[in-house]
Chain A
Amino acid sequence: MSGWARLATKLYRLLLACYPAAFRVEFGVEMQDVFATALAEAQHSGKERPWQLFWREIRNWPGSVLQEHLRARRSKMFSNKVMDEKPLTRKELLAAMIFFILPLFSILAVTDTNSPQWKDYILLVLFWGSIIFAIGLAIARSVPRWSLPYLGFISMVGIILIGTDRFWSWTYPYFIESFGPRSVWPISIRIIYVGIFGFIMTFTILLGALMLVNLLRLLPYTRGVWKRIRADWTQLSFLLYGGLVLDIMLLFDEYHHEEFWKFIAWTCLALGAWSYLRAKGQKRRILALLGGATGAMWIVALAKWVLIPLQKWPTGYPISPSETTRWVETGSAMVSWVLVLLMLIAPVVLNLLPLSHSPDIQEENVPA
């Protein structure tokens, strides 16, 4: 294939991105195939033929795109059912909601890790046992929608375990060198630091999630999951949403009297998840997640503002309960909120990208 033909094929894929998502899923790959074949044949028939072919596509493209969007809108208006997903059963909804109840075990557990009691061990086993059991069940059932937050939680644990120290070692020395010891950093620099650190984490989490999704298409067993996510990227957002449960645990790390606030924040997440699972259409689904995340993160910010003066952290602890800390911690929670929203929206933006040249997405009847 010549350089020009490669460019034309890439441009053609970009043009395809403007068609409605359902149309692209159904015909995108075939259309690319037909265009590539026609282009290859035209190249053998004279110098002008490929140009004529490409011009014909360009000329008809706006009309076709408009027509398909109008048709999609029309069929949506006449259809009351969700096209890409079956409604969840009561059991499935309950299974998803249990995920947001599980963190309550951590509230019940004694926080003093130096002297754990037998009930702490029981709660720990119950918590991780439930998570592992749910993931096992999810794998056995081809990763249904209810299981996505569980997978998000585990993925987040993995990324934080692997990434935190590494990102810290990349960013912290630079800030020390530039602004001196942390204790003398102004509020703005402290919040910027949290923002940069958080951005790196968010970017890594997104990259990791996308790599995971692409890995799913390699195995015949998991290809159905990939197809399902490809048809509705909000499912990836929902997977990442599960990680927020852990995020809230970490945001209150070392805090005292935070139990009530954590409970409220997790309740917000649970409400968002419930609305997501009940919502019809991708737009409503993503709005449900954004609503849940916003509620939870604002509760965290408010909690920090209220709780900081009540903290009795030991002298010499990196964060002392001062007025500056109050601003930094609350501001950082708001920065985290913005990053969380970006993380949840990013997968949905992928709907705008052209389809990859794969045979898998042209199959019909994407499973629920």
Chain B
Amino acid sequence: MVTHMNDILSQLPLREPTFFILLSLSPGPKHGYAILKEVSNLSEGRVKLSTGTLYGAIKRLLDQDWILRVDDPIPNGTDRERKSYELTDLGRRALNAETARLRKLVHAAASQTAEEIP
């Protein structure tokens, strides 16, 4: 289990689907289908996850304690209890670390491009 910041940093860079899944959970807990849709929206339709990829990633994130399973706050209209996933503190730190890493990349790319263009 990853617990320290150094351990989190060793997990970076995140794979794109993993990053988007964490990002989709950033505002609050979501169930599987909501994550699927949100990932598609956030990536402007570029990343479309299959259920196998989604739940493979969810399993890994659960094992790493980056997310946890909670009861769905929104009733789904059936008797069946639906499970949602929520970002843990550790998961949020990983997301922030990856966002910071990407921001640095973008900053570096932006500064380089600005120097090149007269």
Contact = CB atoms under 8 A, between A and B. Distances in A.
B59 A27 contact: yes
A56 interface: yes
Given A60-B53, A61-B52, A33 B82 contact: yes
A362 B55 CA distance: 13
B32 A34 contact: yes
A7 interface: no
A33 B58 CA distance: 15
B80 A57 contact: no
B57 to A, nearest CB: 10
Contact of B55 (A31, A37, A59): A31
B80 A59 contact: no
Nearest to A22: B59
Interface residue tally on A, bucketed by range: 20 to 34
A359 B81 contact: yes
Contact of B33 (A34, A56, A61): A34
Contacts of A34: 32-33, 36, 51, 54
Nearest to A61: B52
A67 interface: yes
B93 interface: no
A27 B69 contact: no
Contacts of A19: 52
Contacts of B60: 71
A132 to B, nearest CB: 37
B50 A57 contact: yes
B50 A27 contact: no
Interface residues of B, number: 20
A31 B51 contact: yes
Nearest to B76: A33
Contacts of B59: 23, 26-27, 68, 71
B104 interface: no
Contacts of A63: 52
A35 B81 CA distance: 17
A38 interface: yes
A55 to B, nearest CB: 10
A102 to B, nearest CB: 43
User: A23, A37, A59 — which one has the most chain B CB atoms within 10 A of its CB?
Assistant: A37
Contacts of B53: 60, 64
Given A26-B59, A27-B58, A31-B32, A64 B69 contact: no
Contact of B69 (A38, A60, A364): A364
B33 A64 contact: no
Contacts of B33: 33-34, 37-38
Given A19-B52, A61-B50, 18 more contacts: A23-B55, A27-B55, A27-B59, A30-B55, A30-B83, A31-B51, A31-B55, A37-B33, A38-B33, A38-B51, A56-B50, A60-B53, A61-B52, A64-B50, A64-B53, A65-B52, A68-B56, A71-B59
7 contacts: A27-B58, A27-B59, A30-B82, A34-B36, A37-B33, A63-B52, A71-B59
Interface of A: 19, 23, 26-27, 30-31, 33-35, 37-38, 56-57, 59-61, 63-65, 67-68, 71, 359, 362, 364
